[in-house]
């Protein structure tokens, strides 16, 4: 009985080991494919000088790119350098017609009248930021909705810029960069915006879409005043971006910077 059992058990073992080898070969090949997939950034072939310097590791911080002075022409540069880059689409358009109508959408739809009929055109607006002082706004338009989104996101990445934060409200002396360092004004079209530093706990006292912009810029408390036609959303957002950029472009001396404790 014992001698008979041994060869019987031995044969299936061989078969099993062959099968195991066969199975083991297949996942190894698959694993290599899986490793290749997430490294999409490795497949990026930079076409500009700035892109090549970023890819090679010569430039490893976004502030160096801004100092370098050239325009960013490839959105991958921003993806490569800014970690935890968040993005949001702003509600700049509205749905037409029945059921109450006017529901806000991320696409602003316009139409051109031609002999062939109405030719629709879509515009989208995107905001990108890392919640920590870098923010960008961009618009994109196309005959279809999806390319408009992609273009908007691309333009937002290309237009990324640094803003400075601080604790500029006299009610609050914490010195953390939770608000603006001082009052700033911005404009675009007829829209005029004033952004005022607020003490801790106030929150974002701004329009819903501007809240998205402020959050991605890393500002937690702000008061605002607006003048002009703020219903034209694209101008309103650009006016706020314009105001935020003035936190960097305004001249300040070292004493003031110490007082405000820039972040």
By CB under 5 A, residue 128 contacts Zn ion: no
> Is the CB of 40 or the CB of 174 nearer to Zn ion?
174
How long is the chain?
263
Name the one range near Zn ion by CB under 5 A: 76-84, 98-106, 195-203, 248-256.
195-203
The closest of 199, 186, 189 to 247, measured between CA atoms, is: 186
User: Assign residue 92 a region: left if phi > 0, alpha if psi is -120 to 50, beta otherwise?
Assistant: alpha
Helical pair 233-249 and 208-217, crossing angle rounded to 10 deg: 30
By CB under 5 A, residue 167 contacts Zn ion: yes
CB–CB of 261/166 below 8 Å? yes
To Zn ion, the closest distance from the beta carbon of 179 in angstroms equals 6
> Is the CB of 146 or the CB of 174 nearer to Zn ion?
174
The closest of 60, 66, 94, 49 to 164, measured between CA atoms, is: 66
> Is the CB of 69 or the CB of 201 nearer to Zn ion?
201
By CB under 5 A, residue 172 contacts Zn ion: yes
To Zn ion, the closest distance from the beta carbon of 255 in angstroms equals 19
Burial of 79 (C-beta count, 10 Å sphere; 0-12/13-18/19+) = middle
By CB under 5 A, residue 198 contacts Zn ion: no
Residue in 174, 190, 208, 227 binding Zn ion, rule: CB under 5 A: 174
> Is the CB of 16 or the CB of 176 nearer to Zn ion?
176
| Binders of Zn ion in range 199-238 (CB under 5 A) | 200
> Is the CB of 57 or the CB of 201 nearer to Zn ion?
201
Name the one range near Zn ion by CB under 5 A: 18-26, 74-82, 161-169, 229-237.
161-169
To Zn ion, the closest distance from the beta carbon of 180 in angstroms equals 11
To Zn ion, the closest distance from the beta carbon of 208 in angstroms equals 24
> Is the CB of 187 or the CB of 200 nearer to Zn ion?
200
* Binding residues vs Zn ion (CB under 5 A): 167, 172, 174, 200
């Amino acid at each position: 009985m014992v001698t008979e059992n041994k060869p019987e058990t031995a044969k299936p073992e061989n078969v099993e080991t062959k099968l195991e080898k066969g199975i083991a070969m297949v996942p190894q090949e698959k694993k290599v494919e899986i490793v290749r997939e997430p490294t999409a950034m490795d497949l990026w072939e930079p076409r500009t000088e700035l892109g090549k310097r970023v890819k090679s590791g010569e430039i490893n911080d976004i502030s160096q790119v801004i100092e370098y002075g050239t325009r960013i022409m490839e959105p991958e540069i921003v993806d490569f350098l800014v970690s935890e880059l968040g993005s949001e689409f702003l509600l700049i358009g509205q749905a037409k017609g029945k059921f109450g109508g006017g529901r806000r959408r991320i696409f602003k739809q316009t139409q051109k009248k031609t002999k062939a009929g109405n030719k629709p055109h879509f515009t989208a607006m995107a905001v990108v930021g890392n919640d920590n002082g870098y923010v960008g706004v961009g618009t994109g338009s196309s005959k279809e909705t999806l390319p408009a989104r992609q273009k908007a996101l691309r333009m937002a990445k290309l237009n990324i810029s640094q803003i400075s934060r601080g604790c500029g409200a006299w009610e609050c002396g914490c010195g953390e960069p939770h608000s603006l360092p001082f009052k700033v004004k911005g404009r675009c079209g007829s829209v005029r915006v004033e952004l005022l530093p607020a003490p801790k706990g106030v929150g974002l006292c701004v329009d819903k879409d501007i809240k998205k912009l402020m959050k991605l810029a890393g500002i937690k408390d702000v008061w605002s005043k607006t003048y002009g036609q703020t219903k034209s959303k694209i101008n309103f957002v650009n006016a706020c971006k314009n105001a935020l950029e003035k936190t960097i472009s305004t001249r300040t001396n070292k004493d003031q910077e110490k007082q405000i404790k820039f972040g």
